[in-house]
Amino acid sequence: SNTNATDISLTNCSVCLYKGFLVRQHPICQIDFPVNSRLLKELEEIRDMNHPNLLRIVGASLEGDKRALVT
């Protein structure tokens, strides 16, 4: 049987295809936090970091009640 990357789930993390790369969506447990300009700026700074010892963050899904980081 064929397995699509969007059908795979690993311990609470969804594996998806994004711009030709496999990425994971890591759920954020704390739902009630404000999405403001400070948070968005911090996420941009983290996204722009590049180091072999750090997990690269591609983006975040912050709308609704199912918030997640995309790595």
Ranges of each domain in the chain: 5-70
Q: Is the pLDDT of residue 32 over 60?
A: yes
The average confidence (pLDDT) of the chain is 76
Taking alpha carbons only, the member of 6, 36, 42 closest to residue 24 is: 6
Cα 29 from Cα 32, distance rounded (Å): 9
- Where is average pLDDT lowest: 22-26, 49-53, 62-66? 62-66
| pTM attached to this predicted model | 0.60
